[in-house]
Amino acid sequence: MLQFFTLLSLAIALVQGLVLPEFTTQGVTGPVKIDFNVSNTVGDISAQEFWSKRSNTLAKRGPFSEVAVPYRNIAYHMDVYLGSNRQKATVILDTGSSDLWVPSDNYNPATSSSSQSTGETFQIGYLDGTNANGQTYLDTFQFETPYPVLSNFKFARSTSTGGFGVLGVADRNQEATPTQYDNLPWALQKAGVIPKASYSLILNRVGQSGSVLFGGIDTAKYNGKLAQYSIDTRAGGLGITLQTLGMEGHEYPAGVAVFLDSGTTLGLLNSQLMARLDNVFHPTIINYGGIQYRQVSCSQPSDRFLDFHFGANAVSIAYSDLIFRQGDGTCLLGFGWYNDYNILGAVFLRSAYVHFDLSNQQISIAQASYSSASNVISD
């Protein structure tokens, strides 16, 4: 069975009432670097089983409701601590959504002396039918010590139990609420921990670990120019304009907004760009769940590259790094087609250093460096 997922986070919410929290903080300030693990398991089950357990076809709404992609096989997970008694919750990092929610057995408000109920109901539905619903609370939030403690941080407690929650770090306009609030990047900025609502996403090439750096840039983790681009609102989230796509000595015009989503394993490109890739990789096209996948040879060269040109710079990916190996030994190309969407997921992001500046509505991008060195500067 095809091992593919898309966590395209089209969020829908039902919220009653409004609470405006005042943020305070304890602990050190400055760039906050959080390491995460990359795996195909969520606790004791596969990532695809975790997501399918949370699927509910009633949550599929809007123009994407016909998409059926029930299998996810990857998770970027980290630990957070909620409440005065530091209740541990493991959450999946997602640049395609904006809210933090945790299963009910990860957070018990009755045991935290700092918990405040907002009186709001919460319901969020993702594109593939994954959903969570419950109540929202204000309480303390912290990563591992010695990182700062945020007071009066808003998050949701789902009625579901087991598995992981989701930590969305997209901008406030993607929140699953009718009124905006300060989600994690903005809460860190408002509390004075970081100067701007910003973060860098670093995926290591081997795909087993990575890090998110709030309020900072690690200059040792990229090569060449870290070029700034305005967020292209046509992407429907955190995206920029792809100017051209280069391969085999040719550059092909694109001029499309591409959505950068850590919650997507592979990517999607429109029919015109996919036709260019088909001419190079000669795939067998497989239709599954409304998506056209490309099955290709697993033997691909490491000295030929697909170049994503954004204007001031480009990100190059070796053909050998464009391949996603299946459990049965076959391989998929790292890009497929669905309804001319343009999504760049982990296959692209592990070759790129990406800095999201929500305060200035900019995204900076460069070629990733896999150096073990680190040189973190404040944003």
Which residues belong to the active site?
94, 261
> Containing H/E element for 189?
helix 184-190
- Position 91, amino acid: V
- Position 336, amino acid: G
CB 117 within 8 A of CB 108: no
Q: Which of 41, 224, 54 is nearest to 123 (CA)?
A: 54
DSSP class per residue in 254-322:
EEEEEEE-TTBSSEE--HHHHHHHHHHH-PEEEEETTEEEEEE-S---SS-EEEEE-SS-EEEEEGGGS
Residues 6+ apart with CB under 8 A from 101: 122, 124, 132, 134, 155, 156, 157, 158, 165, 166
d(CA 201, CA 4): 22
Helix and strand element counts for the chain (H, E): 4, 29
Q: Which of 226, 163, 229 is nearest to 367 (CA)?
A: 226
CA distances from 369 to 156, 216, 259, 277 (A): 36, 16, 22, 25
Residue whose pair of structure tokens reads 């907004």 in the numeric block: 257
Q: Which of 301, 370, 90, 350 is nearest to 203 (CA)?
A: 350
CB 87 within 8 A of CB 81: yes
Does 146 sit behind a cis peptide bond, omega within 30 degrees of 0 on the bond before it? Answer: yes
State how far Cα 145 lies from the chain centre. 24
